[in-house]
């Protein structure tokens, strides 16, 4: 199931966030620069692998690590917020290539289940700094990802998602530090019965067209429940992020 949204990728409810990278170990522009900021140990391991010439297009690095905000606060047992580094180009100065994107998508489809990926957020792969045309990339992403049995979020670039004020930064840091399924423990969610509702996906998102959505929309004014996409409405149910701290996890890399 694909869910399109124009929200910032770092505000996604998904368990796994996709970072578009090169294979020479540089995260200096675009979304990769933000990943470098929030996941510094992930970046150091990625750079080490690249300098050893062990990463090529069609290979994916799955990193399981706590965001920088909570590196010294190990608590909890259920936190999962992973990064999947996805090469769309070889050199950072080069443009992305469509066949590189396809190679990575093929790899993802073959390996996501065995890697334990339960839901995932993608940017527009190779678009923007990569130079690829979105309609072509979109068709390819839908072909590969549309039939998967996990929630797949595709984040469409919008000016407000790329320039943050201080409140946005705080919201991002808070979101990265909450378990992707922590919303289930929210009092309002439990009271409404959404924690066991089959119309609510693993991330706490319910799409329009059913009674669950109508009930969730009526509650969306509370601090626990938020609309994540006004044009293609979907409800994101999540506990107040400031009340949850994750455990510090051992970094795991899988190429």
- Residues with catalytic roles: 89
Cβ within 8 Å of residue 153, ≥6 positions away: 2, 3, 4, 5, 12, 13, 14, 119, 120, 121, 122
CA dihedral sign of residues 126, 81, 106, 198: negative
CA distance 123 to 137: 11
CA distance 180 to 164: 22
């Amino acid at each position: 199931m694909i869910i399109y949204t124009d929200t910032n990728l770092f505000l996604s409810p998904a368990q796994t966030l996709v970072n578009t990278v090169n294979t020479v170990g540089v995260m200096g522009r675009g979304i990769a620069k933000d990943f470098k900021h929030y996941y510094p140990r992930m970046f150091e391991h990625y750079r080490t692998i690249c300098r050893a010439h062990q990463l090529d297009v069609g290979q994916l690095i799955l990193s399981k690590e706590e965001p920088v905000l909570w590196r010294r606060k190990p608590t909890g047992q259920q936190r999962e917020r992973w990064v999947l580094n996805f090469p769309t180009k070889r050199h950072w100065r080069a443009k992305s290539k469509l066949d590189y994107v396809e190679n990575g998508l093929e790899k993802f489809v073959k390996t996501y289940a065995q890697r334990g990926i339960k839901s995932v957020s993608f940017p527009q792969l190779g678009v923007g700094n990569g130079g690829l045309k979105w309609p072509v990339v979109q068709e390819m992403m839908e072909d590969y990802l549309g039939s998967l049995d996990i929630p797949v979020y595709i984040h469409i670039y919008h000016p407000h998602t790329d320039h943050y004020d201080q409140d946005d930064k705080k919201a991002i840091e808070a979101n990265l530090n909450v378990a992707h399924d922590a919303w289930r423990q929210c009092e309002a969610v439990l009271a409404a019965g959404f924690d066991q509702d089959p119309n609510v996906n693993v991330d706490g998102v319910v799409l329009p067209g059913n009674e669950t959505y109508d009930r969730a929309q009526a509650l969306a004014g509370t601090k626990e429940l938020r609309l994540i996409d006004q044009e293609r409405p979907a409800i994101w149910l999540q506990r107040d992020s400031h009340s949850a701290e994750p455990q510090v996890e051992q970094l795991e890399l899988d190429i």
